[in-house]
Chain A
Amino acid sequence: MPIFNSGEIKIAALLCAVLVAALGPRIAAATLGEPEITVQSDVAQLRASIKTSEDRASYRIHEIQLPGGTLLREFVAPDGNVFAVAWNGPTKPDLRQALGKYFDAFVSAPRPKFADRRHLQIKQGDLVVQGGGHMRAFSGRAYLASAIPSGVNLGDLH
């Protein structure tokens, strides 16, 4: 059963927001920890586009196609906030935009012992950032551990 009781209204509102965003001069990508209304992707600046928006049992996913081929997915909780972002493709997305206020914590996190250039495992308080891959194929995700809705499997966040 969908957890968005007024689902149609919210989807309409979202599409409206996306449309407004798409027409705006500079549209911020949906940002970790911020409301769904900020699912305003960087269409103008990054020439990105919302590929799909899909309701799952306990969250909603917006999939954004970046022009270089990378997909950025944003996971929205029933409370209306983005609780996770995930990416995969030939290059990494702009994580400053996707992680928003959590970006500084991400880049200032201490480098883990035995780090190599193929893996990313950062945990700073509530923020978890993970990644893998190599040149030509990157994947990763960032989530707020306390914001994950009940019933969501971490394995689904990709």
Chain B
Amino acid sequence: MASCIGPVRAVLVAACCLAAVACGGGGGSGGSGTPPPPPPTNNVVSVIVDEGPTSQSVNTLFTSVTVCVPGSTASCQTIDHIQVDTGSYGLRLLGPVLTVTLPVETLASGNSLVQCAQFVDGFSWGPVALADVQIAGETAKSVPVQVIGDSRFTTVPAACSGTGTAEDTVASFGANGILGIGPFELDCGNCDTVTHGLYFACATATTCTDTTVPNAMQVPNPVTHFAADNNGSMIDLPAVAAGGAVTLSGSLIFGIDTQSNNKSGTQTVLTVDGAGELAITYNGQTLANSFIDSGSNGIYFADSSIATCTTTLTSFYCPGNTLTLGLSIQGQNGVMVNNLTFGVGNAQTMLNAHPTFNAFPELAGTLPAGNAGTFDYGLAFFYGKRVAVAVEGNKTSVGTGPYIAF
């Protein structure tokens, strides 16, 4: 190395030293011969709570995703306002915003694979296609994604449309797509052996029948297909003033305990059941079918003692004064997190006071009495926290997924 540096001009030093490394470095002055480690994969993508592509969103977290035709570096598109959702599984893109043509998966029968993704308030119909998915520096090669509202498959079978209202446009979906990064790999669980009306084999664009699907062809949480940092993810958001904020920016970090920036540290692990649920105790009742979910835009629970709004927001709470309430969370592993507090503001008053705000940490809504066993703690839970979601079967320094930790 010394002879290399000698009379050589400074601007050449770097190139010279790189050459020395490339030559094997056997004669390096340190004598170790160890090449420097490759730079770590960039595992951080920015996320934002804003008004969304429809200007109607509240407490909805978005990021950007790049998709490419598999194997191509030219047929690629970066799409913004993809909702970040820990309560679903899989990347789904709205066909009307896609400018690249992704190849549809073909079943062994030769039929095209098309999905009827179910959401509580509707369904999204569209083919399962393959894409190379890039988020930050992470890449998942040739992973199944759903293209919702794809012009190639516009006829929705009755078995799908019978589940509710179509959400197949940006206007009806409220996003350009959704990135489901919940604590499981697949969006179904047993669709390889049981038909659920979720996957359809289409002989033609108008002839589709309910089908089972090999797991590898189902739409997975794409994080699980990353080459690295594929055991889960973390959402890191700053705290928000009680009254809310116009926007909120944070980070989505891939992997848990895989790099220096995603250490579990002292996080508390709450494992979840096969549906992604745990128990929340509120008002003296333990609600066994509860969940913590970045895809819920409020804090939803049943409490008939709190006044509801009377005009357009009738399923939200409108107490006379902001309430400070308590709850405890218990994982399936028995770990309890006690004495958490949350605020319930008057939804109508908050909205009237700040009509341009999109983040409202104290927005809370009702659940029907028939859902009395549920407490749905939405995106507000993530405000001011770093929340890890570990995928089933993955072991981290603090536990084994499926779990949520914070």
Q: Quick one: which of A35-79 are within 8 Å of B by CB?
A: 67-69
A91 to B276, CA, bound (A): 14
**B106 at the A/B interface (Cβ < 8 Å)?**
no
Are A134 and B295 touching (Cβ within 8 A)? Answer: yes
A54 to B87, CA, bound (A): 34
Task: Closest B residue to A140 by CB, please name it.
Answer: B120
- B97-132: CB near A (< 8 Å → 1, else 0) gives 000000000000000000001111110000000000
For this complex, 7 residue pairs linking A to B, each with C-beta atoms less than 8 Å apart, are: A90-B189, A94-B159, A118-B378, A132-B367, A133-B120, A136-B188, A155-B372
A19 to B127, CA, bound (A): 39
Task: Indicate the member of A117, A131, A140 with the most B CB atoms within 10 Å.
Answer: A117
| Chain B residues closer than 8 Å to A93, beta-carbon distance | 163
Known: A68-B196, A90-B196, A118-B376. A134 touches B293 (CB 8 A): yes
| Chain A residues closer than 8 Å to B370, beta-carbon distance | 86, 130, 139-141, 154-155, 157-158
Across chains A and B, which 4 residue pairs bring their CB atoms closest together, nearest first? A158-B370, A96-B162, A130-B368, A137-B275
Are B120 and A131 touching (Cβ within 8 A)? Answer: yes
Task: Indicate the member of A90, A121, A132 with the most B CB atoms within 10 Å.
Answer: A132
Stretch from B134-142, B242-250, B257-265, B309-317 at the A interface: B309-317
Are B195 and A68 touching (Cβ within 8 A)? Answer: yes
Are A137 and B289 touching (Cβ within 8 A)? Answer: yes
Q: Quick one: which of A99-143 are within 8 Å of B by CB?
A: 103, 106-107, 111-121, 130-141
- B35-64: CB near A (< 8 Å → 1, else 0) gives 000000000000000000000101010000
| Chain A residues closer than 8 Å to B195, beta-carbon distance | 67-68
| Chain A residues closer than 8 Å to B297, beta-carbon distance | 114, 116
Task: Closest B residue to A91 by CB, please name it.
Answer: B196
Shortest CB-to-CB span from A138 to chain B, Å, is 6
- B152-182: CB near A (< 8 Å → 1, else 0) gives 0000001101111101000010100000101
Report the count of interface residues on A (CB-CB < 8 A): 43
| Chain B residues closer than 8 Å to A86, beta-carbon distance | 370
| Chain B residues closer than 8 Å to A69, beta-carbon distance | 194
Are B162 and A97 touching (Cβ within 8 A)? Answer: yes
A119 to B180, CA, bound (A): 17
Are A91 and B60 touching (Cβ within 8 A)? Answer: no
Task: Closest A residue to B116 by CB, please name it.
Answer: A91
| Chain A residues closer than 8 Å to B334, beta-carbon distance | none
| Chain B residues closer than 8 Å to A133, beta-carbon distance | 120, 371, 374
Given A68-B194, A118-B120, A132-B371, list of 12 further CB < 8 A pairs? A91-B118, A94-B163, A97-B162, A114-B297, A116-B296, A117-B119, A118-B119, A134-B275, A137-B275, A139-B289, A139-B370, A140-B370
Are A134 and B120 touching (Cβ within 8 A)? Answer: yes
Q: Quick one: which of B312-349 are within 8 Å of A by CB?
A: 312-316
Query: B interface, by DSSP: helix, strand, loop or mixed?
Result: loop
Task: Closest B residue to A98 by CB, please name it.
Answer: B162
Are B187 and A135 touching (Cβ within 8 A)? Answer: yes
Q: Quick one: which of B372-389 are within 8 Å of A by CB?
A: 372, 374, 376, 378
B interface list, Cβ under 8 A from A: 56, 58, 60, 85, 87-89, 117-122, 158-159, 161-165, 167, 172, 174, 180, 182, 184, 187-189, 194-198, 274-277, 289, 291, 293, 295-298, 300, 312-316, 363, 365-372, 374, 376, 378
Are A136 and B184 touching (Cβ within 8 A)? Answer: yes
| Chain B residues closer than 8 Å to A112, beta-carbon distance | 312, 314-315
| Chain A residues closer than 8 Å to B162, beta-carbon distance | 94-97, 103
Task: Indicate the member of B60, B276, B369 with the most A CB atoms within 10 Å.
Answer: B369
Are B315 and A132 touching (Cβ within 8 A)? Answer: no
A101 to B369, CA, bound (A): 25
Are B120 and A114 touching (Cβ within 8 A)? Answer: no
Task: Indicate the member of A118, A137, A139 with the most B CB atoms within 10 Å.
Answer: A118
Are B276 and A114 touching (Cβ within 8 A)? Answer: no
Shortest CB-to-CB span from A67 to chain B, Å, is 7
A21 to B276, CA, bound (A): 37
| Chain B residues closer than 8 Å to A68, beta-carbon distance | 194-197
Are B172 and A111 touching (Cβ within 8 A)? Answer: yes
Task: Closest B residue to A112 by CB, please name it.
Answer: B315
Are B121 and A136 touching (Cβ within 8 A)? Answer: no
A158 to B289, CA, bound (A): 14
Are B300 and A132 touching (Cβ within 8 A)? Answer: yes
A107 to B164, CA, bound (A): 6
